[in-house]
Amino acid sequence: MMDWTDRHCRYFMRLLSPSARLYTEMVTAAAIVHGDAERFLRFNEEEHPVALQLGGSEPDWMAQATARASEFGYDEININVGCPSDRVQSGRFGACLMAHPDVVADCFRAMRRETDVPVTVKTRIGIDDKDNYDFLQGFVDALAAAGCQKFIVHARIAILEGLSPKENRSVPPLNYERVYQLKQDFPDLTIDINGGLTSLEQVDTVLQHVDGAMIGRQAYHQPYFLAELERHFNPDQAVPSRQDVVDRMLPYVDRMIAEGVSLNSMTRHMLGLFAGRPGARAWRRYISEHAHREEAGSEVLVNALNAMPLAA
């Protein structure tokens, strides 16, 4: 999730869920081809399995970016066909590409030539007035014909003009049925569903119809939800307590600080760790007040635990 997630966030989330597949925020192909590729592509080994999400519509650039990403060892390369922001549309990529399946298919083919790992697509169920199943089916059909076998579908349309990206994540209604229909009509494709999933019960329900569930905001705001999902789906997997997760972050935080990373850029992802638990507010407040200080180190996390009135 752009502006929210990064490699530090994924390191933290991996501690909570050993088996979830983690996705990067969208990185544009242009940034990799013409910018500091190392900065955009490096990640921690612990993040595996991890997918890189690319934004772009120029097959040559998408292919070059894929080739670079492959050198870094990503487990999947995902094409963004879901982002509605103006900035993204002016570059002609993101959700507006749903109207141009041929362009996405060209990108897909060019990318697949550069990598052995799966190239996948994240898309919406429609855009603007193209709010019907046939449109979605046509898009998926074109990509499947090009060889794409996995789709992650955000179960609401994107309105390309008039709504902010944030509104585009809540105003258009969710339509899970349309995604279920896709799985019925393309049983051999892997179809993952995304959008509005906040509880174990919901995830259980959607998984009766599709192959996977992608969790965005709930995983960020209430990261321990990932641990609960892990416990639910892999009962044999040892899931750490919240305090254990903090303890296991400490050596990472120390190492990163030694490399010049600011404490705040890591702890900002941890603010919601105790959400809904006693002491959550004290945890959040202590970190917010102390993590940005120049000399701040991992002791801030230890002190934040001690600042909580009750053991959580």
Ligand X SMILES: Cc1cc2nc3c(=O)[nH]c(=O)nc-3n(C[C@H](O)[C@H](O)[C@H](O)COP(=O)(O)O)c2cc1C
For ligand X, the closer of residues 1 and 103 by Cβ is: 1
Residue whose pair of structure tokens reads 């934040």 in the numeric block: 304
Shortest Cβ distance from residue 98 to ligand X (Å)? 13
Would you give the binding string for ligand X spanning residues 57-96, x where CB under 6 A is met? -----------------------x-xx-------------
- 213, containing H or E segment: strand 212-214
Q: Which residues contact 304 (CB under 8 A, 6 or more apart)?
A: 282, 283, 286, 287, 290
Specify the long-range contacts of residues 126-133, CB closer than 8 Å, at least 24 apart.
126/98, 126/157, 126/158, 127/95, 127/96, 127/98, 127/99, 127/157, 127/158, 127/159, 127/160, 128/157, 128/158, 128/159, 128/160, 128/161, 130/98, 130/99, 130/157, 131/157, 133/178, 133/181
Would you give the binding string for ligand X spanning residues 108-127, x where CB under 6 A is met? --------------x-----
What CA dihedral angle connects 165, 170, 172 and 174, to 10 degrees?
Answer: 130
Shortest Cβ distance from residue 310 to ligand X (Å)? 30
d(C-alpha 68, C-alpha 74), whole Å: 10
- Nearest-Å Rg of the Cα atoms of the chain is 20
The CA angle 37-35-39, to the nearest 5 degrees, is 40
169 is an interface residue for ligand X by CB under 6 A: yes
Q: Which pair of tokens denotes residue 191?
A: 């179809």
Binding residues for ligand X, total number by CB under 6 A: 21
Would you give the binding string for ligand X spanning residues 137-156, x where CB under 6 A is met? -----------------x--
Shortest Cβ distance from residue 10 to ligand X (Å)? 13
Query: Prior bond to 49 cis, omega within 30?
Result: yes
Would you give the binding string for ligand X spanning residues 263-302, x where CB under 6 A is met? ----------------------------------------
Active site residue 96: no
Three-state DSSP state, 158: strand
1 is an interface residue for ligand X by CB under 6 A: yes
Nearest to 56, CA basis, from 22, 6, 90: 90
45 is an interface residue for ligand X by CB under 6 A: no
For ligand X, the closer of residues 64 and 85 by Cβ is: 85
Would you give the binding string for ligand X spanning residues 181-220, x where CB under 6 A is met? -------------xxxx-----------------xxxx--
Candidates 83, 96, 107, 148; catalytic one: 83
For ligand X, the closer of residues 194 and 267 by Cβ is: 194
For ligand X, the closer of residues 243 and 265 by Cβ is: 265
Of the candidates 26, 52, 263, 296, which one interacts with ligand X according to CB under 6 A? 26
Shortest Cβ distance from residue 27 to ligand X (Å)? 8
Nearest to 68, CA basis, from 27, 99, 100, 38: 38
Residue type, 1: M
User: Where does this chain touch ligand X (CB under 6 A) — which range of 1-9, 37-45, 230-238, 276-284?
Assistant: 1-9
Question: Minimal CB distance to ligand X: which residue?
Answer: 216
The CA angle 39-45-51, to the nearest 5 degrees, is 70
228 is an interface residue for ligand X by CB under 6 A: no
Catalytic residues: 83
Binding site for ligand X (CB under 6 A): 1-4, 25-26, 53, 80, 82-83, 122, 154, 169, 194-197, 215-218
